[in-house]
Amino acid sequence: MSHPNPSILRLFLQALTVADAGLVLHLLECPRCSRQCWGQLSPRPVRRRPGEPRSPTPPPERYDRILARLAGRMGRTVAQMEKGRRKAELLVAELLAAPPGERYAYLAANQRFRTVFVAWTLLEQSWQKEDGGEAEMLARLAASIAQKLAARASGTGIEAGLAIAAWCAAGEAGRRAGRPEDAEDALMRAIPYLERSIDPSESAEYCHALARVRRDQERFDEARALLERAAVLFGSAGQTQDQALALDDLAAVCLDQGKE
């Protein structure tokens, strides 16, 4: 394949979402994932008979046209995602304006709130809250929406991953609020989705969140085992920053055990 036109390559890269850009960088830096993608994307060799002519090489302009179409499609996808996020912000504000005791009934009665964008916006707001009670309330609302979306037969897997993230966030928020029983209950609700997950980072996040609860409960052996597993899983997913946080918590648990 010839080198693409620089302007087309620049357009392609600028159209990437933050998540896609991170994935592309990982593919460039990780030898294992790079080889896997090369095997998936490169054409398989075709065995030719003696004297059989080779297939003609496509002209370079063909690759430029393919990249241009791909960049155009990604640009439209990004625009649709931004539109969905802006709409979700308004819907979340409307939902949170309802009295706290009526929000779940509000969700059940209004189909327009049941979107990935609304659930993700609630989850993002939960992460930003310093107060554990507020963070837990937002995370549980996000989890409620994600569960309904994941129950659909046409689910893509994104919804289940969102449910895992939301229940982990609810568990961590409950722990911060000093309610370990509620935290553990929230984390247990993520298990059915984890059993269907093939993403090691989701299992790692769950192990990390549960380990913090176990540490607060002074169940140090369980916390240590969970953190060791979380560190391995984060490492296999290429999430070195999260791996470092898990190892930092592991060191703290080891110090706690030394104080016994």
142 and 169 Cβ atoms separated by less than 8 Å: yes
Q: How do residues 102-161 score in pLDDT, each as one tens digit?
A: 999 888 888 888 888 999 999 999 999 999 999 999 999 999 999 988 887 555 578 888
Residues of the chain with pLDDT under 50: 1, 46-47
Q: What distance in Å separates the CA atoms of residue 253 and residue 220, rounded to the nearest whole number?
A: 6
85 and 23 Cβ atoms separated by less than 8 Å: no
- φ, ψ of residue 256 in degrees (nearest 5): -60, -45
Q: What distance in Å separates the CA atoms of residue 155 and residue 145, rounded to the nearest whole number?
A: 13
- HSE, side-chain direction, 13 A CA sphere, residue 105: 5
CB-count burial class (<10 Å; 0-12, 13-18, 19+) for 228: middle
Instruction: Give the pLDDT of residue 46.
Output: 47
- pTM, entire model: 0.68
Instruction: Give the pLDDT of residue 178.
Output: 92
Q: What distance in Å separates the CA atoms of residue 171 and residue 208, rounded to the nearest whole number?
A: 11
SS3 call for 66: helix
Q: What distance in Å separates the CA atoms of residue 184 and residue 104, rounded to the nearest whole number?
A: 21
Q: Which residue has the tokens 């009934």?
A: 105
Instruction: Give the pLDDT of residue 150.
Output: 87
Nearest residue to 243 via CA among 258, 228, 222, 257: 228
157 and 140 Cβ atoms separated by less than 8 Å: no
In angstroms and rounded to an integer, the radius of gyration of the C-alpha atoms of the chain is 23
